[in-house]
Chains A and B, each alone.
Chain A
Amino acid sequence: DAKTTQPTSMDCAEGRAANLPCNHSTISGNEYVYWYRQIHSQGPQYIIHGLKNNETNEMASLIITEDRKSSTLILPHATLRDTAVYYCIVRVDNYGQNFVFGPGTRLSVLP
């Protein structure tokens, strides 16, 4: 699976949009981009995933560049409860394969 690079940490003001970048310059054509987050002492929570097109759900939006070498997770109105470690993962769609977690980005939403 392709390797990802994320900033170690980010701050965001409460109520503002949080934009979390992820670089995956070696992504191959059949690899999806997934985002998960982990709030302290809890299991990871699925946020969103995409292949080529931008995606939006009730939690967030995922913007994937046209060359697919990077993506941005957008939390439109961050709240204090969004403080967590956010993981960007790229992988092929294979049922039997696990997800490989990097260090992620520690997002702190500030009041």
Chain B
Amino acid sequence: GAVVSQHPSWVICKSGTSVKIECRSLDFQATTMFWYRQFPKQSLMLMATSNEGSKATYEQGVEKDKFLINHASLTLSTLTVTSAHPEDSSFYICSARTGAVSRELFFGEGSRLTVL
């Protein structure tokens, strides 16, 4: 199947700093990517839908000024957690579809953020 890659796979940062997570579609172009967050022992929760060349669409309760999403190209979307706090510690996962013909959604490996 198609490959979606995230970087970094894990990151530890101090409270108040900003962290950027990259999501790349390696062998296909994705006009839409999705960002999920997963807390321990919970299911995935959609944070935002990232659209290439336009603003992201955020789910209710997700602060757009705290979780900055940039989808500058058809193969790269970034999520920046600004002024991170310990409660932002979580597993962040991105996903993308290969196109209108393919019905599967492919996921990255996930990025584990720990804020001290």
Whether B61 sits at the interface, judged by CB under 8 Å, is no
Q: Which of B73-116 contact A (CB under 8 A)?
A: 91, 93, 95, 97, 99-100, 103-110, 112
Interface size on A, residues (CB 8 A): 22
**Listed stretches A11-19, A37-45, A64-72, A76-84; interface member:** A37-45
Given the interface contacts A46-B1, A49-B104, A99-B105, does A41 sit within 8 Å of B46 by beta carbon?
Answer: no
Q: Is the CB of B107 within 8 A of A43?
A: yes
Inter-chain contacts of A104 with B (CB < 8 A): 43
Knowing A32-B103, A49-B103, the reply to whether A42 touches B43 (Cβ < 8 A) is no
Q: How far is the CA of A105 from the CA of B97 in the complex (A)?
A: 24
Whole-angstrom distance from the CB of B77 to the nearest CB of chain A? 14
Interface residues of B: mostly helix, strand, loop or mixed?
A: strand
Tell whether, in the assembled complex, residue A41 and residue B43 are in contact, meaning their CB atoms are under 8 Å apart: no
Contact B32 A44 (CB under 8 A): no
CB closest residue in chain B, given A32: B103
Whole-angstrom CA separation of A100 from B43 in the bound complex? 10
Interface residue ranges of A43-102 to B (CB < 8 Å): 43-46, 49, 87, 93, 95-96, 98-102
Q: Quick one: given A95-B97, A96-B32, A98-B49, are A43 and B43 in contact (CB under 8 Å)?
A: no
B44 within 8 A of A: yes
